[in-house]
Structure 1
Amino acid sequence: MPTPQTASPPALTPPALTPPDLALVIVAVDDLSAATDFWVALTGWETTEDAPVYRELRAPSGVRLGVYARTAFVVNLGCDVADLAAGPVAATEVYLAVDDVVSTQRRALALGARLLREVETKPWGDDVAYVLAPGGLVVALAAPTGS
């Protein structure tokens, strides 16, 4: 009895367009002022947009961090605030490359962050501490091990 032939999946071709680039990460928060103040004080990033419901900061790399009032953010999505998960810890993490993990962790805590995990060496070669920023976003503070 012959064995059935398995069809191979079609070959994927690269997109004809330029691949996308990460330009902006937006976080929805309950207290826009507190969250913005935290990020500016922690990072020193320039505020490039300052609207009543939205603030935007630019990192030296050019990537932007948007801080959006949760009540206005949901309007873009067409849902109610209650539909937008507002748990105590977001299932998203911002991974910041820093010169000194311990000093940056102390600074974050002094600015109102909550400690989630003390600095520890990770298998991928970074020393990382985790804090919870105002608004519930997990922030990893990382530097290459031994730096």
Structure 2
Amino acid sequence: MKLIQEFKAFAMRGNVVDMAVGIIIGAAFGKIVTSVVSDILMPVIGFFFGGASFVDLKITLKDAVLDSAGQVVTPASTLNYGNFIQVTVDFLIIAFAIFMMIKAMNKLKRKEEAAPAAPAAPPADIVLLTEIRDLLKDKK
């Protein structure tokens, strides 16, 4: 029973919950960026490079072996570098977006730290004693 209570305390701590939310949002953000890269950015880049789809770019190391009926007996061995290019572009865009978000958060944090804290009001008893002192001075 104590183990369950300890786990509940651990799971409900602010840092763990914040981290879980960040991971979920990051995964969704990654899917969006992947879609932008593969569905919008790479076709445009491919258009400028002769209409090639980057995913289809590969180097054939060994051709496929066909039987007399034309059926593939052994598939071709290929080096699929186009997919690597697309995944690299995905990574660079995600890394740049995260860099910009962290940079903005750090800038906001610096502004909060630089703002001077408002002077704390003195406690009520100190204010009362100051008023009494001033009244006594005026009586003299």
User: Into which bin does the TM-score normalised by the smaller protein fall?
Assistant: under 0.3
- Greater relative contact order (Cα 8 A, min sep 6): structure 1 or 2? 1
Bigger CA radius of gyration: 2
Q: Normalized per residue, which structure has more helix?
A: 2
User: Larger % of strand: which?
Assistant: 1
